Amino acid sequence: MADNPEGHRGSGGPPNGDKPFDPMEAWRSLRDASLDAWAKGMIEAVNTDAYAKATGAMLDAYLAASTPFREALEKSMTQSLQQLSMPTRADFESLAERMTSLEMRFDDLDAKVDDLTMPPRTDTKPSKKEPV
Q: Helix/strand/coil (H, E, C) string of 80-111?
A: HHHHCCCCCHHHHHHHHHHHHHHHHHHHHHHH
Residue 43 falls inside a structural domain: yes
pLDDT per position as a tens digit, 44-73: 999 999 999 999 999 999 999 999 999 999
pLDDT band per the 50, 70, 90 thresholds, residue 4: low
Q: What are phi and psi of 3, to 5 degrees?
A: -75, 140
Q: Which residues constitute the domain of residue 99?
A: 86-115
User: What is the structure's pLDDT at 19?
Assistant: 79
Residue 132 falls inside a structural domain: no
SS3 of residue 9 by DSSP: strand
- Over residues 66-92, the mean pLDDT reads 95
Is residue 82's pLDDT more than 80?
A: yes
Q: Taking the mean position of all CA atoms in its chain, how far away is CA 59?
A: 19
pLDDT per position as a tens digit, 12-26: 555 556 778 889 999
- 88: nearest Cα among 69, 102, 74: 74
Is residue 75's pLDDT more than 90?
A: yes
Q: Using CA of residue 26, residue 27, residue 29, residue 34, what is the dihedral sign?
A: positive
For the chain, the domain total comes to 2
pLDDT per position as a tens digit, 91-126: 999 999 999 999 999 999 999 998 888 877 766 666
Residue 120 falls inside a structural domain: no
